[in-house]
């Protein structure tokens, strides 16, 4: 065999392996989408408990699940939220008042749920309730400011899960925890990013501990959406409150114009990236509950898929530089 024949044979073999690899990739994609489209049977006998149902994602999710035939148990913070939701849904949806910062309230909700579901157990719990404020530069926070957010977003999620876990175990069901893209990329000071990182970690640990019992743990990672959490007026009020509680020395280090510049950045970001289509998030929640093979993580929103998730895999200095370019510079910075 001369050199040219050897080269032709090598290229022919190389081309064959490329076709094999391409065929395997196509088969893998086809199998993935097939499994992803499969749903569980008999949805209409499955109970799902959702927290934070007064407004936003939780409210919309309850309406969608109710229309699909799930037996929805909605935890609302206020009587008004519960009454409004009941008027907008069918006779099978039931509500209960729930404050996830209160151990007593959580335990009452768990006992109420146990009576509702009976021997069937609870197919799913969606830990959706959350808050974003206080949020701002870390130095502006007091310990109670951190605790206010951590108590809802992280400890509330953990305590709800642990109290409802026996009912989920009974049904071999689903735990759906709402984290955030800011649980991957810490872009804001305050307790929000910390709490969402905590939800991510708790969910991963829980999934690895209890998958033996047929329980699925899914994480929802929304990008920026127009909800009460991203409403500009409360954000600006909180930033002013945090600024006013600073000592004169700390305020001087940032400069009198820093607050105005910081608020302008928040307005720019929220107006530019917040998506008004909440169904992009509730579609993910619904899939996690109804799919026969739910995903471990769901990234909801184009900013999540094409900005925040890719950023989370990049070196830290990339995010650091990006935030330096966006956020204002303190007056006495070095």
Residue at 115 is within a domain: yes
Residue at 67 is within a domain: yes
User: Based on the domain organization, do 8 and 130 belong to the same domain?
Assistant: no
DSSP state of 71: E
User: Based on the domain organization, do 3 and 129 belong to the same domain?
Assistant: no
Lookup: tokens for 90: 């069918």
Q: Which residues of the chain have pLDDT under 50?
A: 11
Residue at 332 is within a domain: no
Could you give the residue numbers annotated as active site? Answer: 192
User: Based on the domain organization, do 154 and 280 belong to the same domain?
Assistant: yes
User: Based on the domain organization, do 28 and 48 belong to the same domain?
Assistant: no
User: Based on the domain organization, do 143 and 285 belong to the same domain?
Assistant: yes
Residue at 333 is within a domain: no
Tell me how many domains the chain contains: 2
Q: How far is CA 78 from the centre of its chain?
A: 22
User: Based on the domain organization, do 22 and 108 belong to the same domain?
Assistant: no
User: Based on the domain organization, do 126 and 155 belong to the same domain?
Assistant: yes
Tell me what pLDDT residue 15 has. 65
Residue at 183 is within a domain: yes
User: Based on the domain organization, do 204 and 69 belong to the same domain?
Assistant: yes
Q: What CA–CA distance (Å, rounded) separates 150 from 299?
A: 22
Looking up residue 168, the CATH number of its domain turns out to be 3.40.50.720
CA geometry: angle at 211 spanning 44 and 149, to 5°? 80
User: Based on the domain organization, do 76 and 10 belong to the same domain?
Assistant: no
Write the pLDDT tens digit of every residue in 56-113: 999 999 999 999 999 999 999 999 999 999 999 999 999 999 999 999 999 999 999 9
Q: What CA–CA distance (Å, rounded) separates 158 from 102?
A: 12
Domain that holds residue 283: 42-326
- Angle between helices 191-210 and 157-171 in degrees, nearest 10: 20
Tell me what pLDDT residue 5 has. 61
Write the pLDDT tens digit of every residue in 266-283: 898 888 889 999 999 999
The enclosing H or E element of 211 equals none
User: Based on the domain organization, do 163 and 31 belong to the same domain?
Assistant: no
Write the pLDDT tens digit of every residue in 32-58: 777 888 889 889 999 999 999 999 999
Whether the CB-CB separation of 229 and 131 falls below 8 Å is answered with yes
Question: What would the DSSP string read from start to end of 264-327?
Answer: HHHHHHHHHH-BS-THHHHHHHHHHHHBSS--SEEEESHHIIIIIHHHHTS-HHHHHHHHHHHS
Residue at 289 is within a domain: yes
Q: What is the CA radius of gyration of the chain?
A: 24
User: Based on the domain organization, do 136 and 7 belong to the same domain?
Assistant: no
């Amino acid at each position: 065999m001369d050199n040219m024949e050897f080269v032709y044979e090598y290229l022919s073999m190389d081309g064959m392996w490329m076709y094999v690899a391409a065929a395997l990739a196509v088969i893998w994609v086809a199998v993935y989408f097939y499994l992803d489209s499969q749903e569980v049977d008999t949805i209409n006998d499955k109970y799902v408990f959702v927290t934070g149902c007064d407004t936003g994602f939780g409210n919309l999710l309850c309406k969608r699940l109710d229309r699909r035939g799930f037996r929805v148990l909605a935890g609302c913070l206020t009587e008004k939220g519960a009454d409004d939701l009941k008027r907008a849904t069918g006779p099978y949806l039931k509500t209960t008042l729930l404050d996830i910062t209160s151990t007593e309230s959580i335990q009452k909700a768990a006992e109420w749920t146990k009576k509702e579901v009976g021997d069937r157990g609870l197919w799913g719990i969606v830990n959706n309730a959350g808050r974003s404020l206080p949020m701002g530069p870390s130095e502006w926070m007091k310990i109670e400011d951190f605790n206010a957010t951590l108590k809802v977003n992280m400890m509330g999620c953990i305590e709800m899960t642990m109290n409802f876990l026996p009912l989920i175990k009974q049904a071999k069901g689903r735990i759906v925890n709402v984290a955030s893209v800011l649980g991957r990329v810490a872009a804001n000071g305050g307790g929000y990013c910390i709490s969402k990182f905590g939800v991510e970690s708790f969910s991963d640990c829980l999934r690895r501990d209890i998958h033996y019992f047929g329980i699925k743990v899914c994480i929802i990672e929304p990008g920026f959406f127009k909800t009460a959490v991203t409403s500009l007026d409360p954000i600006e009020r909180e930033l002013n409150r945090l600024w006013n509680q600073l000592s004169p020395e700390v305020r001087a280090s940032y400069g009198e114009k820093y607050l105005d510049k910081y608020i302008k950045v928040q307005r720019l970001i929220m107006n530019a990236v917040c998506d008004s289509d909440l169904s992009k998030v509730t579609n993910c929640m619904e899939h996690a509950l109804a799919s026969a093979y739910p995903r471990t993580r769901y990234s909801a929103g184009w900013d999540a898929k094409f900005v925040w998730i890719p950023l989370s895999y990049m070196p830290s200095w990339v995010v650091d530089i990006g935030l330096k370019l966006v956020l204002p510079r303190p007056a006495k910075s070095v």
